[in-house]
């Protein structure tokens, strides 16, 4: 089993989805990375698309590490190499960040501050992600092109300290215009140029970063979060910071998980531990996240189970002949099929994951199944609510932790429901959403102080399916939820990701100690992980 590589060029040449029903083209016949005169209207969508495309490897790899899914047998056993995440690393630095830097520089010269604001916000988001994944990374000397091919690696804490003012600069740039749309809608894949949406994204990003540093600087985190509680945040699912894929097949711009698995040759298993977590806890999201190809398939390709057949984390054995039987991705977030077939062996006590109205059938999926018009949930309403709940419990920020926990669960369920209904699935009944939220409320009320945080982080872990990067952050910061023990680990839990081996080989600022640096990644915490 190998990690599939989804090439950025396919997405860049494809049809981009601008909104739920409107397809537009991005013309990049001219090379946007080397324009004679910077065409900001082309560079911005190019940067947005390349960021999402370059996330595939790191997002899928971290989803494996934290047991949402299993893209790589080696990563499932905590074994990294210098090529495990090289596509993401190289793509972020050679494509996305270069484009964003060009937009900032040229947009400032042209007084196009809407473009500058968006580029600075996405630069801050992406650099925070890179620090979270790798720790010390090139920053100040990066994106200088041929003038510096060996940028120095800077400490993650110092980079974070530069990101907060960068976000503030971006918000100030956005407010240099009174218009509600700061760039043409066709130039912005994510928010169609909405000033309000980008301001909310910036404030929500700051909230996330303050919460991320709470173990190393509780005072700064608490003060920063309290100041943001009255600011406009992402507080409605339609305002979520997500990347939306299209439904085209020629060229193919569908969600990478759909492209990888909705075909004959499959490379991925869903994690059996994640299947079991949802199944055993009467969680209706199971039908949305995963789709069964066979009604009775079970672990190790058995034939007397419930069809939710994945692979245990750390399983060292080769995959059997099971490609038409293993569970694959469902309607959310990959744009696949909704699982509406009856489920065997459901507990009689279940209230929310039931067979009521289950009239569908399992099937072997093909490229024509589903739309593929999935999303990457980057910063969502649910995530913001969970952050506020965590901060209330750990930093005494004054928020009602229970209120924001339940708001996070409700936002996630409603988002999944509306997404599924728009992509060939069934909406969750309102009574199911209300009842499930009440169930979580009862769990929270019954928990002691330590367990209350576990309830919050477990629900966030489930809600963030599709964003392994953020769950990887959460797990390193909190150790929650408890993950399943690996069957056959090859290494300890990775506290950082391995660098691109080509970076360590060619960058003279680190090449002399490249091997030593790489080995240390597995055991060295990022600066906020204490």
Domain segments of the chain as ranges: 8-193+493-521, 246-370, 375-478
Provide the angle, in degrees to the nearest 10, between the axes of the packed helices 401-422 and 430-446.
Answer: 150
Higher-pLDDT residue of 500, 13: 500
Q: How many alpha carbons fall within 13 Å on the CB side of residue 75?
A: 32
pLDDT tens sequence across 408-425: 999 999 999 999 999 999
Question: Which of 18-32, 221-235, 265-279, 483-497 has the lowest average pLDDT?
Answer: 18-32
Instruction: Place 25 in a pLDDT band, splitting at 50, 70 and 90.
Output: very low
Q: What is the pLDDT at residue 37?
A: 56
Q: Which helix (H) or strand (E) holds 106?
A: helix 97-109
Calculate mean pLDDT across residues 80-84. 97
pLDDT tens sequence across 510-528: 999 999 999 999 999 999 9
Over 50: is that where the pLDDT of 159 sits? yes
Q: Which residues contact 91 (CB under 8 A, 6 or more apart)?
A: 8, 50, 53, 54
Over 50: is that where the pLDDT of 47 sits? yes
Instruction: Place 34 in a pLDDT band, splitting at 50, 70 and 90.
Output: low
Calculate mean pLDDT across residues 104-109. 97
Question: Which of 24-33, 77-86, 145-154, 189-198 has the lowest average pLDDT?
Answer: 24-33
- Phi, psi dihedrals of residue 414, rounded to the nearest 5°: -70, -35
Distance (Å, rounded) from C-alpha 38 to C-alpha 334? 34
Over 80: is that where the pLDDT of 7 sits? no
Question: Which of 28-37, 117-126, 432-441 has the lowest average pLDDT?
Answer: 28-37
Query: DSSP 3-state assignment of 270?
Result: strand
Residue among 224, 155, 139, 204 at smallest CA distance from 496: 155
CB of 330 closer than 8 Å to CB of 293: no
Q: Which CATH class is domain 375-478?
A: mainly alpha
Distance of CA 341 to the CA centre of its chain: 28
List 329's β-bridge partners, or say none. 290
Over 60: is that where the pLDDT of 395 sits? yes
Calculate mean pLDDT across residues 109-125. 98
- As a whole-number percent, the residues of the chain with pLDDT over 90 amount to 90
Over 80: is that where the pLDDT of 3 sits? no
Over 90: is that where the pLDDT of 501 sits? yes
Tell me what the pLDDT averaged over the chain comes to.
93
Instruction: Place 26 in a pLDDT band, splitting at 50, 70 and 90.
Output: very low
Phi-psi region of 14 (alpha: psi -120 to 50; beta: other; left: phi over 0): beta
Structure tokens at 232: 């406009």
Beta-strand runs (E) in 340-476? 375-379
Distance (Å, rounded) from C-alpha 7 to C-alpha 5? 6
Q: What is the pLDDT at residue 139?
A: 97
Hey, what CATH topology would domain 8-193+493-521 get? Answer: 1.25.40
- As a whole-number percent, the residues of the chain with pLDDT over 70 amount to 92
What is the residue whose two structure tokens read 């392994």?
Answer: 468
Beta-strand runs (E) in 81-177? 137-138, 153-154
């Amino acid at each position: 089993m190998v990690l599939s590589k989804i090439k950025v060029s396919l997405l860049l040449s494809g049809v981009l989805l601008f909104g739920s029903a409107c397809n537009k083209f991005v013309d990049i016949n001219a090379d946007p990375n080397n324009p004679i005169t910077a065409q900001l209207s082309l560079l911005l969508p190019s940067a947005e698309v390349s960021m999402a495309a370059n996330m595939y490897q790191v997002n899928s790899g971290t989803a494996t590490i934290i047991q949402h899914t299993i893209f790589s047998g080696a990563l499932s056993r905590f074994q990294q190499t210098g090529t495990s995440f090289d596509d993401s690393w190289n793509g972020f630095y050679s494509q996305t960040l270069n484009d964003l830097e060009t937009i900032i520089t040229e947009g400032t010269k042209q007084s196009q501050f809407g473009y500058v604001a968006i580029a600075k916000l996405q630069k801050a988001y992406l650099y925070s992600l890179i620090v979270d994944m790798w720790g010390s990374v090139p920053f100040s000397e990066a994106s200088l092109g041929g003038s510096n091919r060996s940028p120095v690696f800077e400490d993650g804490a110092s980079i974070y300290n530069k990101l907060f003012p960068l976000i503030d600069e971006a918000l100030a740039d956005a407010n240099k215009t009174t218009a509600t749309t700061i760039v043409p809608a066709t130039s912005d894949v994510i928010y169609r140029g909405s000033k309000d949406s980008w301001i909310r994204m910036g404030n929500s990003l700051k909230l996330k970063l303050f919460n991320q540093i709470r173990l190393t600087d509780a005072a700064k985190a608490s003060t920063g979060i309290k100041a943001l509680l009255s600011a406009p945040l992402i507080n409605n699912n339609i305002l979520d910071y997500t990347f939306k894929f299209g439904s085209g097949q020629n060229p193919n711009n569908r969600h990478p998980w759909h492209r990888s698995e909705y075909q004959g040759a499959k490379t991925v298993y869903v994690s059996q531990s994640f299947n079991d977590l949802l199944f055993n806890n009467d969680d209706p999201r199971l039908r949305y996240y995963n789709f069964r190809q066979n009604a009775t398939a079970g672990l190790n390709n058995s034939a007397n189970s419930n069809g939710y057949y994945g692979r245990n984390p750390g399983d060292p054995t080769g995959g059997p002949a099971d490609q038409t039987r293993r569970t694959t991705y469902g309607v959310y977030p990959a744009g696949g099929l909704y699982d509406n077939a009856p489920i065997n062996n459901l507990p009689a006590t279940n209230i929310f994951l039931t067979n009521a109205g289950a009239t569908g059938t399992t099937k072997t999926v093909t490229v024509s199944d589903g739309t593929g018009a999935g999303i990457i949930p980057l910063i969502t309403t649910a995530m913001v609510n969970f952050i506020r709940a965590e901060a209330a419990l750990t930093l005494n920020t004054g928020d009602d932790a229970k209120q924001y926990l339940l708001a996070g669960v409700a936002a996630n369920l409603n988002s999944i429901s509306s997404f599924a209904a728009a992509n060939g699935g069934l909406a969750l009944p309102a009574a199911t959403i209300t009842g499930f939220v009440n169930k979580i409320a009862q769990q929270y009320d019954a928990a002691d102080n330590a367990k209350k945080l576990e309830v919050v982080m477990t629900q966030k872990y489930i809600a963030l399916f599709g964003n392994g990067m953020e769950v990887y952050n959460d797990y390193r910061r909190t150790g929650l939820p408890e993950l399943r023990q690996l069957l056959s680990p090859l290494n300890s839990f990775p506290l950082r990701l391995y660098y691109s081996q080509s970076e360590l080989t060619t960058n003279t600022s680190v090449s002399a100690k490249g091997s030593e640096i790489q080995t240390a990644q597995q055991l060295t915490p990022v600066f906020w992980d204490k």
